[in-house]
Amino acid sequence: MPAIAEGPLPNLLLAGFPKTGTTSLFALLARHPEIGGSRVKETEYFLPARYGESMGPQSDYRGLFAGTEQSLVRMEATPAYAYGGAPLLDAVESLLGKPKVLFTIREPIARLRSYYRAQQARLRIPVEMTLAEYVSLSAPLGRGALSDRSQDPFLGVIGGMYSEFIPEWSNKFDVRVVAFEDLTSNTPEVLGALAEWLGIDAAPFIGLELPHDNPSVLYRRKRLQKAALAINSSLEPILRKHPAIKTKARAAYYRVNGRPMPKADGDIDSEVLERFKEANTLLAKQLSELSAYKIPPWLTE
């Protein structure tokens, strides 16, 4: 049997949620000497199960963890896993057994605005689409949309209903939840709590600051933006190992083709606000029953 077929597999999944700081947290965790990160942050290996599709060869997945054989913790971070439902969770359990599962959450209105801007920057929705227009398309979507790839750009509303998804995971796996707001304001405390949960030394986390690795920036020329997105995706394994190069390259690109991302201003439909309020009330109860690091203020106000 080829060695790659017996290669390492992850025992930590950073499984959600999109636009809640997963990229920055992955980068921080990957700097710990006892944690081995996948060659690309978002392997998306289990994601086909969410859409009723077949997953790729296990050997390809194992190959993304080559070099992490001696790591106490091996991790990947695909935030879209959060919405996978029973088919994806069953696929995870079948291959990985009982990995630890980490979620980041963010105040849902702020996440909605960020998700909307990210879809514009990634050329998935027109840059001219207003927030109100986006919400009108996003609000009607329910869980059925999560299995339709074409609807992925419009998950700004349902994607922030965290209480719909976390229990599915916590009923199967050892789950921890970190609030984006707490991660940004109390980075050392959050990392210390995660180190204890993971059974690793907290000392290497001392002095680390949260990077801002996934900003949404608008573009001047659409074709150049499309090419830049493709290049960034293909070079991720190299750029992740050399963050200084990535930072310099990104800054140079923004000088050439970037323009400031305006705030996603605009009122949110009152019915959407009420839906988030109800979901947050349920989430607060769920987190009180989990070993969440801390209940964020936006759930207790």
pLDDT at position 293: 82
What pLDDT is stored for residue 11 in this prediction?
A: 98
Alpha-carbon span 91 to 45, nearest angstrom? 10
Residues in contact with 202: Cβ distance below 8 Å, sequence separation at least 6, in sequence order: 191, 192, 195, 196
For 66-78, write each residue's pLDDT tens digit: 999 999 999 999 9
- Beta-bridge partner residues of 37: 75
Write down the pTM of the prediction: 0.85
Each residue of 141-157: pLDDT tens digit?
A: 999 999 999 999 999 99
Nearest to 102 by CA among 85, 88, 82: 82
pLDDT value of position 98: 97
Chain centre distance of CA 140: 23
| 3-class secondary structure, 294 | coil
How many Å apart are CA 16 and CA 291, to the nearest integer? 17
The whole-number pLDDT of residue 294 equals 85
Q: At what angle do helices 270-288 and 108-121 cross, to 10 degrees?
A: 110
State the burial class of residue 45 (Cβ atoms within 10 Å of its Cβ: 0-12, 13-18, 19+): buried
CATH superfamily placement of domain 3-109+160-210+280-299: P-loop containing nucleotide triphosphate hydrolases (3.40.50.300)
Segments of the chain scoring below 50 in pLDDT:
1-4, 242
For residue 249, CA distances in Å to 38, 46, 228, 273 come to: 22, 31, 11, 39
46 CB-near residues (< 8 Å, 6+ apart): 55, 78, 81, 84, 88, 91, 92
